[in-house]
């Protein structure tokens, strides 16, 4: 509190002016103290018991804020995006990628086609399976009956409609397309609206495709 010197009616001007100046100086000093205090309150909104409680809460069971921050850092690092490939999954999101081997076969006689290209990749996110594949044959190998494409990495769900694959490349003018068969691990070949007879396909048939389906 400022020490205000009292002015009296009997004070002469040369006595009063120093008192006035001194009073203003004291007031200025007090205002500066208040300003500092206000700034402190703004930047540190609470003190005393409440501040201590807030500190305890922030530690969240750790002995210091530093240990709490270290614990949080470890939690964050254990959930980095590149760890979503963990076999156990992260946050219930199970992702797996790998390879599969597509193959043609006939529904009546599977046959033994000769392959010059035969590879596939899959990417599975929970029940959703994305596949891509490339097949080129050099001999039909005695296949008869409806042309089928087998070897899918996961069974096709029985609860989905017949989805299709997208053929990005084929070396035939035939309007070939393939549909996922529910409750199986294969696709059925179509030429327009008719199924494809595996004995009539080009002996050098080559297709490259992608597709998405649901598994169980």
Select 184 or 199, whichever has its Cβ closest to another protein: 184
Choose between 55 and 99: whose C-beta lies nearer to another protein.
99
Burial of 96 (0-12, 13-18, 19+ CB in 10 A): middle
Does residue 124 contact residue 95 with C-beta atoms inside 8 Å? yes
Cα gap 92→94, rounded to integer Å = 6
Of 137, 152, 165, 205, the residue at the interface with another protein (CB under 8 A) is 152
Least distance between another protein and beta carbon 151 (Å):
6
Rg value, the chain, Cα: 40
What's the closest the beta carbon of residue 61 comes to another protein, in angstroms?
A: 34
- 70 is written with which tokens? 């270290």
Handedness of CA 100, 104, 109, 114 (dihedral sign): negative
Q: What is the x/- site pattern for another protein, positions 184-213, by CB under 8 A?
A: xxx---------------------------
Residue 183 C-beta: closest distance to another protein, Å: 5
Determine, following the binding rule CB under 8 A, whether residue 125 of this chain makes contact with another protein.
no
User: Of the ranges 22-30, 44-52, 179-187, 206-214, which one interacts with another protein (CB under 8 A)?
Assistant: 179-187
Helix boundaries (H) for the chain: 13-43, 48-59, 65-77
Among 101, 108, 126, 204, binds another protein (CB under 8 A): 101
Token pair, residue 73, equals 């850092």
Rule CB under 8 A: which residues touch another protein?
A: 96-101, 122, 151-155, 158, 181, 183-186, 215-216
């Amino acid at each position: 509190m400022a020490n205000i010197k009292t002015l009296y009616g009997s004070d002469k001007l040369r006595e009063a002016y120093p008192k006035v100046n001194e009073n203003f100086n004291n007031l200025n000093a007090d205002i500066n103290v208040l300003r500092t205090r206000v700034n402190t309150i703004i930047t540190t909104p609470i003190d005393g018991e409440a501040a201590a409680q807030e500190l305890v809460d922030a530690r969240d069971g750790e002995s210091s804020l530093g240990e709490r921050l270290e614990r949080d850092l470890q939690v964050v690092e254990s959930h980095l995006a590149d760890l979503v490939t963990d076999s156990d999954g992260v946050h219930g999101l199970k992702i797996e990628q790998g390879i599969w081997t597509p193959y043609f076969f006939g529904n009546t006689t599977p046959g033994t086609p000769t392959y010059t290209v035969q590879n596939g990749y899959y990417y599975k996110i929970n029940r959703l399976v994305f596949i891509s594949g490339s097949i080129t044959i050099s001999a039909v190998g005695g296949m008869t009956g409806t042309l089928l494409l087998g070897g899918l990495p996961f069974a096709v769900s029985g609860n989905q409609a017949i989805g299709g694959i997208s053929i990005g490349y084929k070396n035939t003018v035939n309007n070939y397309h393939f549909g996922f068969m529910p409750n199986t691990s294969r696709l059925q070949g179509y030429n327009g609206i008719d199924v494809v007879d595996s004995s009539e396909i080009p002996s050098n048939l080559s297709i490259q495709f992608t597709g998405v389906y649901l598994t169980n």
